[in-house]
């Protein structure tokens, strides 16, 4: 009996170790390369160095094409640069990767609003709200006023 319990414990430990092996670099002070690029991009963005930020987000996406956060951050950066079409494209990609992320829809709603595409902005506001994302009341008021709609 003890032999089978001992074997079970060893197998459980091995499964647990394998399951969490992806966390080891994080605990060792190392970040996955795509996260490192994302952090560098965010730092450049905070400094207003948008082209450098976009280059870092591009690196993160090249490493992991399904890295939703990199698309969101790159979209926000394109928005700050005034390239709303590229911002919308990135938010669309982020939403495709994670359809349950209200932030991607809300960010895209803001970009549509800036382009005066109010119908699409409302659609994304409704989607973000349905996912539980909190919409800024000031944005909602601006959208209501600009679109002539209540919802």
Q: What parts of the chain have a pLDDT lower than 50?
A: 1-2, 4-28
Q: Given this model, what pLDDT does residue 30 score?
A: 82
Q: Given this model, what pLDDT does residue 63 score?
A: 97
Q: Given this model, what pLDDT does residue 121 score?
A: 98
Integer-rounded Cα radius of gyration of the chain = 21
Q: Encoding tokens for residue 99?
A: 């359809």
Q: Which residues contact 90 (CB under 8 A, 6 or more apart)?
A: 71, 72, 74, 75, 78
The rounded distance, in Å, linking the Cα atoms of 144 and 105 is 17
């Amino acid at each position: 009996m003890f032999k089978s319990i001992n074997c079970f414990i060893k197998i459980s430990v091995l499964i647990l170790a394998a399951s969490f092996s992806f966390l080891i670099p994080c605990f060792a002070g190392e970040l996955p390369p795509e996260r490192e690029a994302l952090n560098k991009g965010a730092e450049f963005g905070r400094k207003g160095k948008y082209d450098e930020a976009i280059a870092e987000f591009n690196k993160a996406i090249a490493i992991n094409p399904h890295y939703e956060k990199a698309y969101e951050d790159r979209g926000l950066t394109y928005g700050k640069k005034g390239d709303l079409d590229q911002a919308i494209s990135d938010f669309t990609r982020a939403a495709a990767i994670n359809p349950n992320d209200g932030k991607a829809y809300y960010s895209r709603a803001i970009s549509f609003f800036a382009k005066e595409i109010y119908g699409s902005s409302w659609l994304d506001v409704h989607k973000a709200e349905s996912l539980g994302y909190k919409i800024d009341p000031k944005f909602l008021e601006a959208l209501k006023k600009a679109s002539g709609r209540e919802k």
